[in-house]
Structure 1
Amino acid sequence: MTANEPKSPLTALLVAQFFGAFNDNAWKMMVALLTIRAATAGLTTADPAFESASQAQTTLAYVVFTLPLALFSLPAGMLADLWSKRTLIVWLKALEIGLMGLGTYALATDAPRLLPLIVLGLMGMQSAFFSPAKYGIIPELLPPERLAWGNARLEMWTFLAIILGTGAGGLLLDLSGPTPALAGGLLTLFALIGWIASWYVPPVPPARAEGGFVATIRSSWQAIGADRVLYLAVLGSIYFWFTASLLGQDILVYTKALTRDWANSDTWSGLPLAFYGIGVGLGSLWAGRLSRHLVEYGLIPLGALGIAFFSLLFSLWGPTYGYTLLLMVLLGLASGLVVVPLNAIVQWRAPADRRGGIIALTNVFVFFGIMAGSLGAGGLAWLGLSTRAILTLSSLFTVGGTVWAVWLLPDFLIRLIFVILTHTFYRLTIVGEENVPREGGALLVPNHVSFIDSFLIMASTHRQVRFIVDSIYYYNFWLHPLMRWMNAIPVSATGGLRVILKALRQAGDCLDQGDLVCIFAEGQMTRIGHLLPFRRGLERIIKGRTAPIIPIYLDRLWGSFYSRAGGAFFSKLPERYPYPITIQFGAPLPSDTPTVRLRQIVQELGTAAWEHRKPDSFPLHHEAIRSLRTRPWRCAFADANRWMTKAGVLAGAVALARRLRHEWEGQRHVGICLPPSIAGALVNLAATLLGKVTVNLNFTTGLAGLESAAQQAGLQTVVTSREFLDKAKVALPSGLRPVFLEEVGKDIGPFEKLYCLAIGLLAPLPLLEWLCYADRRVGPDDPATIIFSSGSTGTPKGVVLTHYNILSNIEGVGQALPVGHRDRLLGVLPFFHSFGFMSLWFSLKCGMGIVFHPNPLDAARIGELVEQHAITFLIATPTFLQLYMRRCAPGQFGSLRLVFTGAEKLTERLATAFEEKFGIRPIEGYGATECAPAITVSTLDIREAGIYQVGSRRGFVGHPVPGVSVRTVDPETGEPIPVGQPGMLLVKGPNVMAGYLGRPDLTAKVMRDGWYVTGDIAIIDEDGFVKITDRLSRFSKIGGEMVPHGKVEEALMEAAGATTQVFAVTGIPDEKKGEALAVLTTLPLERIPPLLDKLAAQGLPNLFIPKKERFVQVPAIPVLGTGKVDLRTVRQIALEAFAAPAAAKS
């Protein structure tokens, strides 16, 4: 939930309180038992007079102790405010030593029964003065957010003392036998220990310097009457202690009758109350845990109903002694849920300068309630009611009181709903709740993901929140009572401007009154998984006011039962139970914060919230195995020749892991050189299962590239296939020992396959790893893979990606893209490509099938595979899409419902041409290997009745992946760039790499205060869509002006009417202007002059128009194995073509 609690300043107070409460209850029990023993001498338990006499003597003892509590509480409250509470505590603990000494004298001299009763009354007086001091000092020692925590521990230790004291009273009498003074001496020793502890209570100043007795009473009474919540809390305290007194006395008499004929009867009769104290202590701890750092008054009706239920059960059942003890624990548990929040409310709502007086006045009422309960038990017994009948009446009174309190303050019921919801179905992690003001108005602005967002926000703060709610929900027949209890503010988007302005004015008035107002600035629940654009209505609410804006991000709700993931509410089962949710509060913002800036801050809060997912995350292979065990009969992997079920994939991966462990022994990084295929996927899964870090080698870079990667990664072996090496004509570095799959798999027999299938499906994951002889257990921050960058603009670098880097990216993309286990993905991107590697784990995590093909350029075969396997999801680069357009028939892509492209820019002409041919428009994403790889992602638009949410925008690469934040800055100064202006794109999120392999210097260059510097120039619009204009490295500085290569390419492509990549622009040195544009083209050079004339006629700046003599005709634009344009080769060809001197200078 939060960081570990700091060392408590309450320790000394808890020790002093513990021994004081122990002595109070032990002495009270001893006096009660002594008087009962004397009054019932000669009577039997069957005698009706026995129960009546017992009730009378117990009542006497309770009244003698309680009456001084009531009489002296008010002056005690005045002293607690005028004196230092710590000083008062020390003096009162000293008085306790004297009183226990006097009690010991009374027991030693066999004094008349009057002297023990006098000591008991003086103990009540001492407790009256001690109570406001001990409760009043807690808010002075602890911050408000720890009040529930402090009260929970105080109540736990108090009731533990009550347990031991109540139980010890009878036990001490039995053990001391004819010399009861021994018991009194022990209590005196305990009083001395408590006095010593009191000196270690931290000193505090007096709450106020002046004020008389009458003024204290008057001001305390006025403060209680002015605050309805405080008033009801005081009433609740009175009622609770009235019931506790009545029940305690009644059950003591009940158990005395049960144990009258037992040996050591006094000991046995006191034990049920001790067990009640155990229950209260446990209930107090539970209440503190449920309250977290809030004053959770929703626990009060829950505890009250528990008291009523167990009291009624007691009365109807009439349990034996053993079951009486059990019921007393349960009664105490319910009582703890009541007493902790009641005390915390009184301390929290009471003004600091009158807190001691208010607590004292409350104590007066409480003590009269205790007395009334004790007298009530005695009176009802005098009227002839049995103990069980009294219990029945008590339970009915408790139910009535609870219903009455809920009727007066519906917040109690709403909070009860929150308590049940957030501690059964959900597990809340609340971060930054201290940013919500303790008092005064504030505007809360969260994202809107699910139907229960309002409830979760209310559950995360102890203050009442007024929500701006669509009138459709406000006036709904079933929801309207709840909305009225919540004091929601209705607004109608279709009611006209006047209706909207009225609601906004009402919200502003609430801020002026000091209320918390919450508005979902998106205006509707997200159906696309992304943060929607913020509407400007909130600016009208806050304009001209000083109230702060509190940004909030609700995380992990997408995919929950109440979200619109999958298209509808209530159509999904939760993935986990309890379902974890993070609520991240941001720092207060000034009231003039622009809406666009506010949206960006909420998005960055989302990035912070995603970090709290990490402790609950699992390694990639754990997620994959869990998914494979679900519907194991479904197809998981396929290619042109075969297909495998999920169960088969599990068995194959486990079998390979067990065989390859010998080959990989002692190696942390393992090389894999295989195309996108079933074999390649199984080896990657097997390596991860063994805790290895995979290095999928880029076999298209040639021998030099393979040697560089192997050397940087420290590889010793590489898993590959003879057939693949022969077909692809790949030469492996001499320093690598090849491990051929043909040899590894040939000895795996049917029995071993069955064994691997069994443990793959049934073995717990830790056991499965052990059976596969995994080197080590990996965590979310451990490296999962090393991917070498494509080298399109420089030397390849090893990018280290952790399990959580990849998993968070998978979860983010999965939140945005509407895909699931019924989809099938075409896997043509190689595993050494970051998108290809992520696609493998994405399909495994989502449960969808993946159909592999080793050659993404084999368009004809790919068209057949899409048709044959009814593939629904295609991920490819624009270069590959151009090939498919030329060679695939429209009907072959008829099953596709999502075409996603990345790695290079998707031109408008290509997107339109693809849509015209296949009837489906590609949507674009953007990423980098360093970001695992997705940074932004487009998705499908959502159109429903009254709903239109835009998932993609032409020319843009989508919104940031959920959990990822982006911003643009000036490339030179690093200053933020206004919305809509181009700047250097920075990325922050859980997907950002751990670093470059062995190159901390390069890592430091691209990381800026936790933000990854992409090197790309981008524009972010008001709705959060991102547009990539070009890489900073793809600019030429000509005559002092920055000329983007990508824009020149687009202009040339449009002028030529080309839908495929026929131009590649680069920069070469120029003696006059520093740099000049050079262009590689597949078009005949005679077509170039007319194209340049067309560019000039369109108004393109002269600097953006290449010279006709700077064009070079090539057979094909150089492309990397990943499908991206090979920019290094493009520049080399241009340099070689135009000037050897220029090449030498470079």
Structure 2
Amino acid sequence: MHAEQQRISSIGPESLKGFWALFLVQYQGAFSDNLFKFLVIFSSINSLGVEQDALRDFRLFLIVAVFALPFIFFSMAAGCLADRYSKGRVITWTKRLEIGIMILGVFALKSGEFNYMLGVILLMSIQSAIFSPAKYASLPELLPNEKLSWGNGVIGLGTFGGIIAGGTVAGLLSSWFKEDVWQCGGILVILAVAGTIVSRWITRHPAASPGKRIKINFIGDLIHNLKEAGKSRVLGLAIVGSIYFWLIAALYEPTLVVFGKDLELTDFQISLMRACLAIGISIGSVSAGYLSQNKVEYGLIPLGSLGLAICSIVLGFFDLSFVQISFLLVCLGISGGFFNVPVSALIQKLPARKDKGSVIAANGWLTALAMGLAALIFYLFKVQLGIDAKAMFWVIGLTTIAGTIYAVWLVPDSLARFVLWALTNTLYRVKVLGRNNLPERGGALLASNHISLADALFVIASTGRRIRFIMHRDQFNRWWVKPIAKMLRVIPIASDFGPKELLKSLKKASDCLKDGELVCIFAEGQISRIGGQTLAFQKGMELIMRKQDAPIIPVHLDNVWGSIFSFHQKKVYWKVPRQIPYPVTVSYGKPMPTDSSHTEVRREVVALGADAWAQRKGRISTIGRAFVRTARRARTRMAFADSSGKKLSYMRALMGSIILTKRLRKEWDGQQKVGILIPPSVGGALTNLAGILMGKTVVNLNYTLSEEGIRSCVEQCDIKCVISSEKVIRKLKIDPGVPMLALEDIAKDPSLIEKISAALLAYLCPRGILLNKLSEGNPASLDDIATIIFSSGSTGEPKGAMLSHYNIVSNMMQLNQAYDFNRDDRFLGVLPFFHSLGFTATLIGPAVIGVGAAYHPLPTDTRSISKLIPHYKLTLLLATPTFLQLYLRGIKPEQMQTINLVVVGAEKLPQRLAVAFEEKFGLQPLEAYGCTECS
């Protein structure tokens, strides 16, 4: 572990610079190799007559075989070199060697002798065989583990980009220069010199194993390395996958040339076909690196394998045009990239650091053997048996299908990971925090909260390591879960097991930890049904960790509540997702000691949840933006009503707010903070929303304050006028020190043009443009102040709490998650808008989450309130204990039948009042805690 930490600490900006130098060197090498090789192929084939097809195929066989032989004989020694010496230094040595080889290549091309050119290909292949292990073993030194898939994708892009360019340029030069193609040889020498210079920029790291001996007889080392690799089934199968990939790649190369000649294509068209294949591999490599999302995602391997098989079979069975063939080759290449990138990343990641070079070299040796075997297969099929290219394609396809089935049978979780990868890249979008807290090797117990049936999916998607889950037996036995659970080697457990069976299951989990595996337990023992709240953790995890030397990793799943498989809306399966893809955050905490108690672990998980909430900020809208979205989704649903008989749907509320913004623009011109003195009502709600849509800070003045208190609030906010209502102005008879304007005068008699304009804006105008227009180019941001809530002034002058859009909207989202509101819920709005609970829940709640509200200006008027509740079928009552006492006396139980949630705040709830209220109405009031500044 110390060596691993040392490696990670050495990776910095200089290493990333070295990685890009390696990319350029790799690109140049692939370009030069393919340019020379295909110049030789076209030169040697074009010099033959039509009747010499057998000799043509034999020469192709020789070129493929000779290119593969050095990898067989030199790969193991090259791997030892990569471990014994600095890999960057080994790369520079090989590039210097390339300069001399390319000079010889120029003379060989000029001579036109096939044997001379073949000899240079042999030397070129020796140089590549020495270069290859150092190149791939450098990646873990230049990149952190989470970037290995990305790095392999980029290196794959360089490799096959070089192949594309080299093969295509060779076809062009062969068509242009014909027998004088040797004149282009100087390009190869110049490129070799450039590659040597760039190789010096590759970051030099110390040798991984300076004492390693280089043996001439490498068979013993090869067997040892393969035995070590075979201890990990995944690593062993990754090596087999790499061998097979390069076998079919080597088989495709001469087969495509013959296929093109059979179709009577030109050298340039054949080069284009190869280019299409290489372009596809480049796209697939980069895409696989991106889709792996900072981990090694071996769930992509079955997808790539299936694509290789289908494309090969279609090529073999159907007569296709040149364009169709080219498109199919691109698809084939993309599949190859999906297959090869995770395979290569696994081979680089899984071996111990001191053995990386040797294991990679062993893989290179076997790969070279496979490439040599490909040459032999081509020779036998084409030259000896006379099988045409199309038949070879479908043989490759059928063989790939058989190999895929066998590999999935050996490592079934690769198929499960593919299914889960597909889900997490379509229905879900998983973000991972603290991934570095997961150990790269060794056992650890992952202790997670449990919010939905899909939680295991999110944990799997967050890491490339294999995980053994502990699952309740009832879930394990579901018909659609059991096949995937078996693939993932889930450990079933249940509280109703007998003591022996229970201990046996726990011991199995404990043994997995000792074997160095990751084990995940959803420590609550059940799925949360209360707004995604984290329940108490069970003690089973403590039994698993007895006599262990592995850490506990706290895990938190955030924003899962509300997804398809959570208990949101009290149903698990049949829900329409809020959005697709649905964002989920997986957070990993720092490793905890083995003897940590279940309560300590829960505390850390909850803390991770608090940190994860802050990550939602980028997905949260301002109040105005959220109101427009809600109004368009719930157009005809009731938004606001009041005891005067006014009732507005969401779309009518949005249109009314838009009209008010235009009417109030003159009155509020030059003011950022605007004063409102209107009791809870439809008019008060629309005035507040109009101010918010205009980007203003709305200040609802406390009409229970003295005139001096109100004036203090006005002066502190530099308010120039106060919007009120005629009734309030007549009743209060106060002078706030600024003009008081009646809303009835401002909002009366909107014209037909105003209504049509508001309707067009409400229905058709994009949200961003609408908010920009209503705010005159200055729309509010999340951190802008949405409102100022003043205290009652009991300890002096009233003090204002400045609340941002983020404060209020996130608060409302938290309330929504905790109480699980639905579209049929409606608030009783009796708390004034100058109260933080009244403003947040009964005004902003409807605007943000689509829960309607019915208002009454007098919270003590039990007679009117008792009629309002059944009339609008209100379900949510927010009040103070003082008001609750009045409702206990003045409202009958049958008038409260629709209410299903009662929340009180601002005062302490007496126990006797809570008991009396529950006895009469069958509802237990919930006491809310908080303060205005934290709203």
Task: Please classify the TM superposition score into its range, dividing by the shorter chain length.
Answer: over 0.9
Q: 1:504 aligns with which of 502, 506, 512?
A: 506
Aligned partner of 1:1143 in structure 2 is: none
Report the Cα offset of residue 339 of structure 1: 1.0
Native 8 Å contact 1:446 1:552 kept in 2: yes
The C-alpha deviation readout for 1:687-721, integer Å capped at 9, x for no partner, is 22222222222222122222222222232333222
Partner residue in 1 for 2:5: none
Whether 2:901 is the aligned partner of 1:892: answer no
1:30 maps to what in 2? 39
Residue type of the alignment partner of 1:34: S
Measure the CA separation in 2 of the matches of 1:633 and 1:203. 68
Shift of 1:916: 1.9
Deviation, 1:8, is 4.4
Instruction: Report the residue type matching 2:235 in the other structure.
Output: L
Quick check: which has more Rg, 1 or 2? 1
Offset at 1:127? Answer: 0.5
Alignment of 1:193-208 (within 5 A): 193-208=194-209
**Partner of 1:663: helix, strand, or coil?**
coil
Paired residue for 1:70, among 47, 52, 72? 72
Of the three residues 695, 698, 704, the one matched with 1:700 is 704
Instruction: Find the counterpart in structure 2 of residue 485 from structure 1.
Output: 487
Corresponding residue SS for 1:776 = coil
Question: Which residue of structure 2 aligns with residue 518 of structure 1?
Answer: 520
Residue type of the partner of 2:867? E
Name 1:1042's counterpart in structure 2: none
**Partners in 2 of 1:801 and 1:5 — Cα distance?**
41
Q: State the match for 1:251 in structure 2.
A: 256
C-alpha contact 1:650 1:761 (8 A) present in aligned 2: no
Q: Give 1:98's aligned residue.
A: 100
Q: CA deviation at 1:226?
A: 2.0
Partner of 2:618: 615
Q: In structure 2, what is the equivalent of residue 1004 of structure 1?
A: none
2:174 corresponds to: 173
Structure 1 residue 332 displacement after superposition: 1.2
Classify 1:147/1:794 alpha carbon distance in 2 versus 1 (closer, same or farther; 3 Å).
Answer: farther
Distance 1:538 1:795 in 2: 54
Contact 2:18 2:201 in 1 (8 A): no
Aligned to 2:141: 140
- Counterpart in 2 of 1:381? 382
Q: How many angstroms does 1:631 deviate by?
A: 3.4
Corresponding residue for residue 21 of structure 1:
30
Instruction: Measure how far apart 1:88 and its partner are.
Output: 0.9
Deviation at 1:449, TM superposition (A): 0.4
List alignment gaps of at least 5 residues for structure 1.
Answer: 44-48, 933-1146
Report the secondary structure of 1:64's partner residue: helix
Pair 586,320 (structure 1): closer, same or farther in 2 beyond 3 Å = same
Partner in structure 2 of residue 81 of structure 1: 83
912, 915, 919: which is aligned to 2:915? Answer: 912
Instruction: Check whether the contact 1:690–1:775 (CA below 8 A) recurs between aligned residues.
Output: no
Counterparts in 2 of 1:732 and 1:35: CA distance versus 1, 3 Å: farther
Alpha-carbon shift at residue 767 of structure 1 (Å) = 2.1
Residue 7 of structure 2 aligns with which residue?
A: none
Q: Who is 2:4 aligned against?
A: none
Aligned partners of 2:722 and 2:739 also within 8 Å: yes
Count of residues paired in the alignment: 915
Q: Classify the secondary structure of the residue corresponding to 1:804.
A: helix
Secondary structure, aligned partner of 2:575: coil
The answer (yes or no) to whether the contact 1:691–1:776 under 8 Å persists in 2 is: yes
Distance 2:349 2:887 in 1: 68
| Cα deviation, residue 464, structure 1 | 1.6
Deviations 1:67-99 (A, max 9, x none): 222222122112222222111111100111111
- Spell out the pairing of 1:515-914 with structure 2 (5 A cutoff): 515-529=517-531, 530-640=533-643, 641-727=645-731, 729=732, 731-734=734-737, 736-791=738-793, 795-839=797-841, 840-914=843-917
Sort the Cα spacing of 1:585 and 1:795 in 2 relative to 1 into closer, same or farther, 3 A.
Answer: farther
In structure 2, what is the Cα distance between the partners aligned to 1:74 and 1:565?
58
Letter in 1 for 2:703: F
Counterparts in 2 of 1:124 and 1:473: CA distance versus 1, 3 Å: same
List aligned pairs for 1:414-493, cutoff 5 A. Answer: 414-493=416-495
**What residue is the counterpart of 1:1128 in the other structure?**
none
Q: For 2:669 and 2:221, how far apart are their aligned partners in 1?
A: 79
CA distance in structure 2 between the aligned counterparts of 1:198 and 1:708, rounded to whole angstroms = 73
C-alpha distance in 2 between matches for 1:739 and 1:116: 95
SS at match of 1:96: helix
**1:605 to partner: Cα distance:** 0.5
Give the gaps of 5 or more residues in structure 2.
Answer: 1-10
Q: What fraction of aligned residue pairs are identical, expressed as a percent?
A: 40
8 A contact 1:173–1:183 mirrored in 2: no
Q: Which position in structure 2 is the counterpart of 1:998? A: none
- Amino acid aligned to 2:825: D
Indicate the residue corresponding to 1:402 in structure 2.
Answer: 404
Q: Which amino acid aligns with 1:82?
A: R
Structure 2 distance, partners of 1:658, 1:692, is: 13
Give, in angstroms, the shift of residue 423 of structure 1: 0.9
Query: Distance in 2 between the 1:496 and 1:14 partners?
Result: 59
Amino acid at match of 1:767: I
Q: Secondary structure at the match of 2:205?
A: coil
Give per-residue Cα distances to partners, 1:910-968, cap 9 Å, x unaligned. Answer: 01111222232222221211221xxxxxxxxxxxxxxxxxxxxxxxxxxxxxxxxxxxx
CA positional deviation for 1:730: 5.0
Query: Could you state the TM-score of these two structures normalised by the residue count of structure 1?
Result: 0.78
> Take 1:5 and 1:626, find their aligned partners in 2: how far apart are those partners?
44
Tell me which moved more, 497-506 or 455-464: 497-506
Structure 2 CA distance for aligned equivalents of residues 862 and 30 of structure 1: 91
Deviations 1:560-612 (A, max 9, x none): 00101111111211111111110011111112223222222111100111111
Larger helix percent: 2
The CA deviation at 1:235 is 0.4
SS class of match (1:523): coil
User: Where do 1:151-300 residues align within 5 Å?
Assistant: 151-177=152-178, 179-208=180-209, 209-213=211-215, 214=218, 216-258=221-263, 260=265, 265-300=266-301
What displacement does 1:360 show? 1.2
Which piece of structure 1 moves more, 560-569 or 482-491?
482-491
Residues 509-535 of structure 1: CA distance to partner in whole angstroms, max 9, x if unpaired? 222222211111111000012111111
Superposition RMSD on alpha carbons, in Å? Answer: 2.0
CA distance in 1, matches of 2:724, 2:264: 81
SS in 1 for 2:666: helix
Give the CA deviation at 1:210.
Answer: 2.6
Q: Spell out, residue by residue over 1:191-247, the C-alpha distance to the aligned partner (whole angstroms, 9 max, x if none).
A: 111100011111122221132424633432221222221111110001111122222
CA distance 1:42–1:500, change in 2 (3 Å)? closer
Letter in 2 for 1:531: T
Counterpart residue identity of residue 353, structure 1? K
Asked if structure 1 preserves the Cα contact closer than 8 Å seen for 2:95 and 2:199, the reply is yes
Amino acid aligned to 1:707? R
Q: Over residues 1116-1139 of structure 1, what are the superposed CA-to-partner deviations in whole Å (9 max), with x where a residue is unaligned?
A: xxxxxxxxxxxxxxxxxxxxxxxx
Q: Is the 8 A contact 2:830 2:838 kept in 1?
A: yes
Classify 1:868/1:478 alpha carbon distance in 2 versus 1 (closer, same or farther; 3 Å).
closer
Say which structure is richer in strand. Answer: 1
Is the CA contact (8 Å cut-off) linking 2:79 and 2:358 kept in structure 1? yes
Q: Deviations over 1:297-333 (max 9, x none)?
A: 1111111111112222223333212222222221111
State the Cα distance separating 1:336 from its structure 2 match: 0.8
State whether residues 623 and 847 of structure 2, in contact with CA within 8 Å, keep that contact through their aligned partners in structure 1: no
Q: Deviations over 1:453-507 (max 9, x none)?
A: 1121122122221111111122344433332322222222112444333322322
The amino acid across from 2:81 in the alignment is L
CA distance in 1, matches of 2:128, 2:590: 43
1:347 maps to amino acid: Q
Where does residue 370 of structure 2 map in the other structure?
Answer: 369
What are the equivalent positions in structure 2 for 1:49-64 lying under 5 Å apart?
50=53, 54-64=56-66
- 844-853 vs 826-835, greater mean Cα deviation: 844-853
Amino acid at match of 2:175: D
**Contact 2:624/2:771 (<8 A) preserved:** no
Judged with a 3 Å threshold, the aligned counterparts in structure 2 of structure 1 residues 484 and 723 are, in CA distance, closer, same or farther, namely: same
State the shift of 1:399 in Å.
1.1
